[in-house]
């Protein structure tokens, strides 16, 4: 693990796009790493889900428009977070710090 990643894990809260409404302050480094890995996995799964939603056909009768595009994007993000909270696809458990 390089100095930048250790500095990120020791910082009170992440900044920029890594700050996904998670508050890592007051947590030990292992818990911070696990939380950050789960957040990353949620974002990754959300992006994959959004790509899947883009390929799904849109109903001509009830679908289409800016509102549906926005809703699909938000739905994909929430699906990704939900899957990550329930164990994800195995990325987050792979993150560990050797003592």
99: in domain: no
* Per-residue confidence (pLDDT) for residue 32, from 0 to 100: 82
47 inside domain:
yes
Record the tokens describing residue 73, joined without a space. Answer: 């994007």
Domain count, the chain: 1
Q: How far apart are CA 91 and CA 39, in angstroms?
A: 11
Q: What pLDDT is stored for residue 33 in this prediction?
A: 84
Q: In this predicted structure, what is the pLDDT of residue 66?
A: 82
pLDDT of amino acid 48: 93
How far apart CA 24 and CA 36 sit, in angstroms, is 8
- Give pLDDT, residue 47: 94
Report field, pTM of the whole predicted structure over 0.75: no
Q: Is residue 8 part of a domain?
A: no
Residue labelled with tokens 């890594």: 18
- pLDDT tens-digit map of 40-97: 999 999 999 999 988 888 877 777 788 888 888 899 999 999 999 898 888 777 765 5
């Amino acid at each position: 693990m390089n100095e930048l990643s250790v500095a990120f894990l020791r910082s009170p809260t992440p900044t920029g796009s890594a700050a996904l409404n998670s508050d890592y302050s007051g947590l030990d480094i292992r818990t911070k790493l696990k939380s950050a890995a789960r957040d990353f996995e949620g974002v990754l799964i959300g992006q994959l889900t959004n790509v899947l939603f883009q390929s799904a056909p849109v109903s001509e009768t009830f679908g289409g428009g800016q509102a549906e595009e926005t809703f699909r994007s938000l739905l994909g993000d929430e699906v990704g977070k939900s899957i990550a909270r329930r164990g994800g696809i195995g990325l987050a458990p792979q993150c560990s710090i050797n003592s």
